[in-house]
A and B are shown apart, each in its own frame.
Chain A
Amino acid sequence: MSKQELLEQAAQSVVDADRDATVEVAKRAIAEGIDPVEMINDGYSVGMSRVGDLFDRGEMFLPELIVASDAMVAAINVLEEAMPVKNQSKKLGTVVLGTIEGDVHDIGKGIVATMLRVYGFEVFDLGRDVPIKTFVEKAKEVGADIVGSSALMTTTQVGQKALEAALKKAGLRDKVKTMVGGAVVTQRWADKIGSNLYAENASEAVLKLKEMFS
């Protein structure tokens, strides 16, 4: 089976919300020596993007979305084990990452965490529904270079602004770069709250952070 066919199968298995199929395709990709990062970026993420579009248009619903997400995570877990961690001798930076309190969306932020690890960043993924003070405490504890937050809803987006203020209050804002992302977040929002970096997706996050820290 060609690489292109496997990538398309990976995307379709996510759209079909078929966990067995996503995992099977991931295993086949590893066996055939295809770069796991490519499988995530050009296969599973493409499928998840199609799922997001269908959901956004009211053609796919929450229960199916949840199953599709679960299927994608299962495949990524398989691929992660086969990923070479690049630049192991040189850590590019320390990232504290999480989804803002009140927001339970995890997948996009999870992919960003995975990709950053692959490209040589040390990542502390705080998970989802993370209180602002936890971001600050963790950043202080691990001496973070970057504090990244994700928000998928306008109601939780304001937490990213509160995080900027909390980092300032803790005396950390000059020591760290902040990065924001999530479906409702835009470059304009990042500029408005004073965040250093906005990334539309995982690949862009990696690209921009590599540029900043290389």
Chain B
Amino acid sequence: MKKYLTRMGDGERIEMTVDELKQDFELGTKDAADRGKISPLTQDELDYLLEIFTNPNKIVSVEPGNEVPLTHDIGTLRLMGDQGNSGVGIPLSRVQGIQVHERAFGGDTMELGHIDYSFKPVKPVIAMEQQEMENALLSTIVPLFYGAMPNLGLYYSPDGPFGNPSDLLPMGKIQEAREAQEGAVEHATRDMIYICEKLYDVGCDGINFDTTGAAGDADMKATLHAVEYLKANTNLAIEVGMAGEFVLGMHGGLEYDGVRLAGLYPHQQVKLVEKAGADIFGPVVNTNTSKSMAWNLARAVTFIKACVEVANIPIHVNMGMGVGGSPVFETPPLDSVTRASKAMVEVAKVDGL
């Protein structure tokens, strides 16, 4: 029986028959439907996934007319960073890096980001970031975001003023852990607003809150509060990108607009992101390294399709290392990442990647 090259979730090359692919598509979409309490993919959609997977070409693309805009996170670190942080170590300035993305790579938007890529460390160097943003704006045409992670982890010891929930919770100090997170929400919201307003002052087009929820529900609450304020007080375009497929309940009791944040899946997250005032939402579905790409992609497409169906703002799904059906691999293999992207655009109907 003919076998097709595909991948495991950790990037290992494997071969699967049509029957094996079909079975994993069905199990993957069923898993998402079961967890998210959403509809599984239809038979037509599963058949189309099979068509994408059995395409004999190494890379695939969308049909003409189905192209979508590309936004880009992590700033220019992909070019300038070394192998330790998944970059390729090319010695460029950040402005040059943005120009390369715009003029050579055809990026539809680009962003400036600090090497630490978290909001808190930007605070003491905000004047430098303002100047760099101004320089970049003067020499490019694409809309320029400033990107950073809310990263509430930096507000806990040893990096910040509050006790660390990861230390407090195993000791059974649940109330203390919750109070630490509530305190961090206030500090992080204040810092993010301060930084974004300073960047808005120099003409920054938008803000990308990247990997929201990485430090749990408190992380997301702080982000939504910052978005709400910025929408009401600036003309910044705002993108909220997630860290995981559901909001981790490090606190468990935090709410936004009367909705508990912990445990929300993409189709539920987007409604709160909209309510806060964001313009673009970047949902995430995590890749399971022990499952095939067929299982992972069918599952990811199911979650994202449900999110797209209820969204009133553009959905730019996160695609890359370990998310969106792509393997967990520093530089995801082309055969996988192009198949995953095509499925997200043509089956899940996302507005952008």
Contacts and interface: CB of A to CB of B under 8 A. Distances in A.
Nearest to A70: B172
Contact of A58 (B169, B177, B249, B289): B249
A62 B252 contact: yes
Interface in A32-70: 57-64, 66-67, 70
Contact of B250 (A57, A62, A106, A188): A62
Contact of A61 (B12, B166, B262): B262
A162 interface: no
B2 interface: no
B290 A62 contact: no
Interface string B258-291: 0000111100000000000000000000000110
Contacts of A61: 217, 248-252, 262-263
Nearest to B322: A154
B72 interface: no
Interface string B190-230: 00000000000000000000000000110000000000000
A4 interface: no
A58 to B, nearest CB: 4
Contact of B263 (A58, A66, A67): A58
A196 interface: no
Contacts of A70: 172
A57 B35 contact: yes
Contacts of A58: 35, 246-249, 262-265
B94 interface: no
Contact of A63 (B246, B247, B252, B328): B252
A66 B290 contact: no
A186 interface: yes
B316 interface: no
- A59, A62, A186: which has the most chain B beta carbons within 10 Å? A62
Contacts of B289: 154, 184
Contacts, number: 53
Interface residues of A, number: 17
Contacts of A184: 289
B179 to A, nearest CB: 12
A59 B263 contact: yes
Contact of B169 (A59, A66, A106): A66
Interface string A184-196: 1010100000000
B262 A104 contact: no
Nearest to A186: B290
A63 B251 contact: yes
Interface string A137-159: 00000000000000000100000
A90 B263 CA distance: 49
Contacts of A60: 249
B174 A63 contact: yes
A50 B272 CA distance: 29
B59 to A, nearest CB: 27
Contacts of B251: 61, 63
A116 to B, nearest CB: 23
In the A-B complex, the 10 residue pairs with the smallest Cβ-Cβ separation, listed nearest first, are A61-B249, A58-B246, A61-B252, A58-B263, A63-B174, A61-B262, A66-B169, A63-B252, A57-B35, A62-B250
Interface of B: 12, 35, 165-166, 169-170, 172, 174, 177-178, 216-217, 246-252, 262-265, 289-290, 328
15 contacts: A57-B246, A57-B263, A58-B35, A58-B248, A58-B249, A58-B262, A60-B249, A61-B252, A62-B165, A62-B252, A63-B252, A67-B172, A106-B170, A184-B289, A188-B12
Given A62-B216, A106-B170, 12 more contacts: A57-B246, A58-B246, A58-B247, A58-B263, A61-B249, A62-B252, A63-B178, A66-B169, A66-B170, A66-B172, A67-B172, A188-B290
